[in-house]
Amino acid sequence: MKNILVIEDSKTMNNIITKELSSLGFEISQAFTLKDAQNFLSNNKYSLIILDLHLPDGEGSELIANIQCLTKTKVVVLTSTQDDELRDELFAYGILDYIIKDKNLLYSISEIVKIIQTVIVKEKDKILIIDDSNFICKQVKTVLEPRNYVVQKANSAKKGLELLGKESFDLLILDMELPDMHGIKVLEKIRKQSMFINLPIVVLSGTSTPEIVRNCLKNGASDFLKKPFIFEEFILKIDLWIDYYKQKKQNKEKTKELEYINTHLKELVEEEVKKNKEKDKLMIIKSRQIQMGEMIAMIAHQWRQPLNAIAMAVNLIDIQIHTKNLNEKIILDITSKIHNYIQHLSKTIDDFRDFFKPKKDMQKSNFKKIIKKALNLIEYDVKKSGIKINLKVENVKNIFVYENEMLQVVLNILKNAQDVLKAKGVSPALINIKVDSNTLSIEDNGGGIDNEIISKIFEPYFSTKEKDGTGLGLYMSKLIVEEHLQGELLVKNTKQGACFKIVLKDSVNEK
């Protein structure tokens, strides 16, 4: 992938992209209009096109529809607006990625470079999909083949199991409702064979009740997606599991090299510790993905009101123009409000982006800062639920933590409290939060946890939510606080309800 065509009407953006990619050794052609792009494409062949959807003389989507063999000519789409229907349509064409232009140009450029580098270095990893739907098989191939994956399909369990026995695959995508065998039986057959113990298996299903999800995961599925799947989520999970599988195979090879040095007993101990750590990492990934879905829903809620306000303001300006009754003071007031709304939207997306950025090193923080971030993320949802938050800060002390992991713990506890208050219809609904040095307490007035189950709430897959619970949130919270941060996560019933307390010990406090 040496020849790249950048189609972007903004000279600044086009030049920055061109400069960045040229520095990495690519040959770049620049087009600023649809007509320029068509001229370049008629006279040259490109392995990659970076395409702005909105050009001064036409829509970039028209160009995509005319490009032949998208599995050979890879396309990364740039746009300044999120259009879900158009995004899904473009992914169905086989685009590599759909990138929203950010006010932070460097971040947008980094996203483009990252996807290109991923495709360049990616080996031809093999994926098998077992699904009787030709539409789903075609959709999966269209999405994955531009990313250098080799996809083979099987329309029945029998054919899929035969292919697994003959060829080597890096990942399996499995439908639950097959014509000759249920997906659970297929999972059991595959996991009984030692050679497939670690093979990532992503289940696709038209239904996704908690019982079905748990049943799939407990019988050997690595992950679960509901049809119809979200393209970005599907791609992310496939990339994640392929990378995880390859890394695990590499780790095994390194372990074999150590066999000549270590004693048999030491090898066994180290292998068990390693397996436990890998299991914990996997559980963290699953828990974080569940939170990702909740966060995306929160973003949608928080954006709806300011977007409606912006639309009303624009309509008001339009009326002023058409009635030829322009009032400079009113126009300035409207544009000022629009600017404030835009700043609010930008801040919202920045808050959520910070939450999803992985931070591998401990950093100095404090519980006041962490709780403020958490409340910013769930602000709209809490207000909509009619819940009052009482925050009391008695003493702020700096601590060294994995901030995003601790934020994940706090969000889990707050979300559970919110769910309990909504489910029980408590009025007035209250959540009391207290920060005192290296201790954080979160208490609701939902009546507490049944004494018969309070000792089980930190166990994996244990949930009191009949429909939506996965039983991973509190288990992962306990793991993060006590294993990663050497602290304590405690729970008790008070007169008001349930009270969760996080206590970090001196080992992670600032000296």
Closest CA to 381 of 408, 358, 406, 348: 348
Same structural domain, 113 and 149 = no
CB atoms within 10 A of CB 460: 16
Radius of gyration for the chain, computed over Cα atoms and rounded to the nearest angstrom: 26
What distance in Å separates the CA atoms of residue 167 and residue 148, rounded to the nearest whole number? 18
Same structural domain, 364 and 489 = yes
Instruction: Please report, for the domain that includes residue 37, its CATH number.
Output: 3.40.50.2300
Instruction: Give me the pLDDT at residue 484, please.
Output: 76
Identify the domain boundary among 254, 277, 306. 254
Instruction: Give me the pLDDT at residue 431, please.
Output: 94
Token pair 């959709």 is at which residue? 139
Q: For residue 220, tell me if it sits in a domain.
A: yes
Q: For residue 270, tell me if it sits in a domain.
A: no
For the four alpha carbons of 130, 136, 138 and 142, in that order, the dihedral sign comes to: negative
Same structural domain, 391 and 493 = yes
User: DSSP 3-state assignment of 24?
Assistant: coil
Domain that holds residue 456: 358-508
Same structural domain, 132 and 84 = no
Fill in the DSSP letter of residue 511: -
DSSP secondary structure, 388-439, as one string: EEEEEEEEE--EEE-HHHHHHHHHHHHHHHHHHHHHHT-SSEEEEEEEEETE
Identify the domain boundary among 222, 254, 286. 254
CB within 8 Å of 184: residues ≥ 6 apart: 176, 215, 216, 219
User: DSSP 3-state assignment of 223?
Assistant: strand
Same structural domain, 183 and 218 = yes
Instruction: Give me the pLDDT at residue 455, please.
Output: 84
What distance in Å separates the CA atoms of residue 358 and residue 186, rounded to the nearest whole number? 35
The strand pairing partners of 400, in sequence order, are: 364
What distance in Å separates the CA atoms of residue 121 and residue 187, rounded to the nearest whole number? 31
Residue 77 and residue 95 in contact, taking contact as beta carbons nearer than 8 Å: yes
Same structural domain, 184 and 49 = no
User: DSSP 3-state assignment of 386?
Assistant: coil
What distance in Å separates the CA atoms of residue 310 and residue 331, rounded to the nearest whole number? 13
- Look up residue 507 and give its two tokens: 């080992």
Q: For residue 184, tell me if it sits in a domain.
A: yes
Q: For residue 275, tell me if it sits in a domain.
A: no
Residue ranges of the chain with per-residue pLDDT less than 50? 68-71, 356, 507-511
Same structural domain, 108 and 28 = yes
Calculate the alpha carbon distances from 227 to 174, 218, 262, 476 in Å: 12, 20, 48, 27
**Model confidence pLDDT, tens digit, residues 200-243:** 999 998 888 888 899 999 999 999 998 888 887 888 888 889 88
DSSP secondary structure, 427-485, as one string: SSEEEEEEEEETEEEEEE-S----TTTTTTTTSTT--S-TTT--S-HHHHHHHIIIIIS
Instruction: Give me the pLDDT at residue 71, please.
Output: 45
What distance in Å separates the CA atoms of residue 39 and residue 62, rounded to the nearest whole number? 15
Identify the domain boundary among 230, 254, 278. 254
Instruction: Give me the pLDDT at residue 402, please.
Output: 78
Fill in the DSSP letter of residue 101: P
Instruction: Give me the pLDDT at residue 69, please.
Output: 47
Instruction: Give me the pLDDT at residue 70, please.
Output: 45
CB within 8 Å of 140: residues ≥ 6 apart: 127, 129, 131, 151, 153, 173
Q: For residue 226, tell me if it sits in a domain.
A: yes
Same structural domain, 130 and 237 = yes
Give the largest Cα separation in the chain, rounded: 88
Same structural domain, 166 and 52 = no
Instruction: Give me the pLDDT at residue 294, please.
Output: 55
Q: How many domains does the chain have?
A: 3
Q: For residue 266, tell me if it sits in a domain.
A: no
Same structural domain, 116 and 181 = no
Q: What is the 3-state secondary structure (H, E, C) of 103-167?
A: CCHHHHHHHHHHHHHHHHHCCCCEEEEECCCHHHHHHHHHHHHHHCCEEEEECCHHHHHHHHHHC
Using N-to-C axis directions, what is the helix angle for 367-384 and 264-322, rounded to 10°?
50
Closest CA to 414 of 294, 299, 301, 509: 294
Same structural domain, 102 and 191 = no
Same structural domain, 364 and 481 = yes
Instruction: Give me the pLDDT at residue 155, please.
Output: 93
CB atoms within 10 A of CB 253: 8
Instruction: Give me the pLDDT at residue 146, please.
Output: 79
What pTM was estimated for this model as a whole? Answer: 0.42
CB atoms within 10 A of CB 104: 12
Q: For residue 282, tell me if it sits in a domain.
A: no
Instruction: Give me the pLDDT at residue 435, please.
Output: 92
44 — phi, psi (to 5°)? Answer: -140, 160
Instruction: Please report, for the domain that includes residue 466, its CATH number.
Output: 3.30.565.10
User: DSSP 3-state assignment of 490?
Assistant: strand
DSSP secondary structure, 349-383, as one string: HHHHHHHHS---S-EEE-HHHHHHHHHHHHHHHHH
